[in-house]
Amino acid sequence: MAAIPPIAYVSAASKVLVLTAGLRYGRRLPPARRWIFAWALIGLLIDGAMLVYALRKQNNHWMSYVAAPVEVSTLLFALSCWHLDRGRQILRTLAVAFVATVVVLVVFVESLTTFSLVRGPIESILIVAASLATLLLLLRDEQGNLFQRDWFWICAGLSLRYGALATLGFLIAYAKYRIAPLSVFAFPLIFIMTFIANLVYDPSSSIPQVLSQELFRQAHGIAE
């Protein structure tokens, strides 16, 4: 078993930034960000459990098939909060459809002992499409400062993370069968892009501000 790169730990731990933002505002947190908080918490727990299995040199791939339906549904429900009735219903219907799709893939297509061949790309494309559609829809009517809109940062972060996963997932699959050394670079890139995306999810600040001591001070007027 290959050693786990340090950036993997940093990437997983960066979800704490999202949770810290949510805990700061508690019940004042808007509905969409409550779903994002739930998604980050689920992701952190899953990452921790998968790490335990990995350190024990046990198969942890099966956990991704348990986590994916929950995480994707949570994200689609988060995005649906920024849509009117029709758009909200479409996104929530897609969440149910994705859960059913994962069940079918697990039974008939996928292997629980290796990386996903079908479920992963479907998951990434679905979230990228939903987040970009939400972003473009909201941009159409926005006349204020984008950098003070939580939906801008969250949609951008989701597009960044899942877009990277879709692209780099293809590279890993290609590396596995064609150019093995490429996987040495692809895996760390996934962790790096996930870490950057988790910084972007904070809707209160730009990335440099996230790294400052006054982490969430600028969000005070947004969360209320």
Q: In which region does residue 114 sit, left (phi positive, over 0), alpha (psi from -120 to 50) or beta (all else)? A: beta
Lowest-pLDDT range of 69-78, 101-110, 157-166: 157-166
Which domains does the chain carry? 7-214 (1.20.1070)
pLDDT above 60 for 180: no
Beta-carbon-side half-sphere exposure of residue 23 (alpha carbons within 13 Å): 9
DSSP 180: T
pLDDT of residue 176: 55
Over residues 104-116, the mean pLDDT reads 89
pLDDT above 70 for 142: yes
pLDDT of residue 117: 80
Q: In terms of pLDDT, which residue wins out, 33 or 22?
A: 33
pLDDT of residue 201: 54
Over residues 60-65, the mean pLDDT reads 91
- Distances in Å between the Cα of 26 and the Cα atoms of 105, 183, 192, 223 are 38, 41, 29, 10
Cβ(223)–Cβ(28) below 8 Å = yes
pTM: 0.79
**Residue 198 banded pLDDT, cuts 50, 70, 90:** low
Helices (H), 56-142: 61-80, 85-108, 119-141
DSSP 1: -
Q: How far apart are CA 50 and CA 112, in angstroms?
A: 13
